[in-house]
Amino acid sequence: MSQAVQAGERERRTGPEVWSRNFTLFFTARSVSTLGAAMVPFATAIGVNDLGYGATGVGLALAAWMGPFAVLILFGGVFADKFTPRRMMIGADVVRTVTQGALAVLYIFTHPPLWQILVLSAVAGVAAAMYQPGVSSTVPRVAADVQKGNATLRVSEAIMMLMGPAIAGGVVVLSGVGAVFAVEAVGFAISACCLLALRLPPLPAGGGAAGESMWRNLRGGWHEFRSRTWMWSVILIWVIFGLTLFGPMIPLGSVLVSEDLGKAAYGLVMSASGAGTIVGGLVAMRVRPARPLAAGATGLFGFALEPLSIAAAMPLEVMMAAHVVGGAGWAFWSVMWATSIQTQVPPEALNRVTAYEVGGSTVAVPIGQAIAGPVAALVGSREVLAVSSAVAVGGCLCLLLIPAVRGLRRAATA
């Protein structure tokens, strides 16, 4: 066994619960790339709208990233098993450094047509699909306490989400939208370097992924996924959320808030949601419910306040408070969900199961983003977001009514 492997195993056995060398590097990689990523929805919404493409253009730009991500993430899980998650994540970061740098150049030096923005966003979405499955399987390998590791990462991501829109707003005012994409490109480059420096223990044996065909691996992942009622039940609800809640939120919310209260106000609203996720992550560090998904679904009710506050054209202070509550509920649910997957699924199948889970939960989002503008033109943007709020409440009720979800017990290894 190599010294690097022995060092990685020693860190897991004798190091701190969370802050080992590997976790610190992974934490840094996730934090810097998340800061850049947190700036981009704001920059995309403002930049595409300022170019004259409106809510429909914003929805298409976001869908151009999310569509390839949702469709190809299944293959990302298989490739992660074949080539190791770390290699796939580093490669994805390199590709995204190039795409976001190219977007920066386009925005700074040209007046980019929408198709160029869509193409580069789609390539970035493909890279993200290759990256994401490895995140879930890496957390148990760098953190001895999986829930605390997830919660720590969630708090960091929340801080980045809080800072991102506010920084993006300032950068847009000072230097333009292109500078935001340049910052994100730097973040992905730093992330790639941190991932390259990781020293991980060997992957668990027994998956057989490296020696089997792609389709056989996909079938194996599908078997693991569909054998867990609590998992596919949540994903079915998330498909509905993608169409009616997650999809319309940014395309319609960004335009409504910016038109009513100004661009800076939209940045503050997004930052308020980020502040809420910090609260939710901190709570998740301390609270260890016996039934994590039931507790998470209860907290998720607060997320309904986000679209409701925009639909009702509430004052900025009230809207920000609603987004704090919504962000807290979302973060708490996210930690409970990620920890359940990482501790209930065999490690050798985790990349592929994560691919099905993430792919299923995001597949409808680009459709919701793309149709948000046309539907809003027919029935009204505020009416669409009011429906989004009602769907959020109904979805949380369904989560609590499904026995497999409500009754899932905390894994002893968490």
Three-state SS string over 297-309 comes to: HHHHHHHHHHHHH
Is there a domain that residue 414 lies in? no
Domains held by the chain: number = 1
Q: How long a stretch of residues is the chain? A: 414
**Joined tokens for residue 239:** 């498909």
Confidence (pLDDT) at 178 = 87
280 Cβ contact list (under 8 Å, min separation 6): 154, 158, 299, 327, 328, 329, 330, 331, 332, 333, 334, 335
Considering the domain boundaries, does residue 248 fall inside one? Answer: yes
Name the pTM for this structure: 0.71
Long-range CB contacts (within 8 A, 24+) of 357-361: 357/225, 357/231, 357/235, 358/73, 358/132, 358/133, 359/70, 359/71, 359/73, 359/74, 360/232, 360/235, 360/238, 360/239, 361/234, 361/235, 361/238, 361/239, 361/242
Whichever domain contains 235, its CATH number is 1.20.1250.20
Question: Each residue of 82-135: pLDDT tens digit?
Answer: 788 888 999 999 999 999 999 999 988 888 888 998 999 899 989 988 888 788
Mean pLDDT value of segment 346-353: 80
| 412 falls within a domain | no
- Contact status, residue 408 vs residue 340, Cβ threshold 8 Å: yes
Range 64-70 average pLDDT: 81
- Spatial CA neighbour of 121 closest among 66, 161, 50, 176: 66
Q: What is the pLDDT of residue 80?
A: 77
When pLDDT is cut at 50, 70 and 90, the band that residue 13 belongs to is: very low
> At residue 8, does pLDDT exceed 60?
no
Q: Is residue 154 part of a domain?
A: yes
Strand, coil or helix: 402: coil
Q: Is residue 148 part of a domain?
A: yes
**pLDDT value for 413:** 52
Q: Which two tokens stand for residue 228?
A: 């867990």
Please state, rounded to an integer, the average pLDDT across all residues of the chain. 84
Q: Are 361 and 235 in contact (CB under 8 A)?
A: yes
pLDDT for the residue numbered 212: 59
Residue-wise pLDDT for 207-250, tens only, equals: 445 555 667 777 877 888 889 999 999 999 999 999 999 989 98
Percent of the chain with pLDDT over 70: 92
Residue 206 in this model has a pLDDT that exceeds 50: no
**Ranges 51-60, 187-196, 274-283, 390-399: which has the least confidence:** 51-60
Task: Find the domain containing 190 and state its range.
Answer: 3-406
d(CA 202, CA 62): 37
Nearest alpha-carbon partner for 276 in 328, 316, 333: 328
Which residues contact residue 149 at a Cβ distance below 8 angstroms, ignoring those fewer than 6 apart?
18, 23, 139, 140, 142, 143
Confidence of residue 17 (pLDDT cuts 50, 70, 90): low
Does the residue 329 lie in any domain?
yes
- Print burial letters for 346-377: b (CB count within 10 Å at least 16), e (below 16): ebbbbbbbbbbbbbbbbbbbbbbbbbbbebbe
pLDDT of residue 66: 77
Per-residue pLDDT, 211? 52
310-314 long-range contacts, CB within 8 A, separation 24+? 310/252, 310/253, 310/256, 310/257, 310/269, 310/382, 310/385, 311/382, 311/383, 311/385, 311/386, 311/388, 311/389, 312/382, 312/386, 313/256, 313/260, 313/382
What whole-number distance in Å separates Cα of residue 70 and Cα of residue 132?
11
Compute the average pLDDT of residues 280-297: 92
| pLDDT value at 36 more than 60 | yes
Contact 285, 236 (CB under 8 A): no
Residue 413 lies in a domain: no
Q: Is residue 411 part of a domain?
A: no
Closest CA to 349 of 87, 81, 45, 100: 81
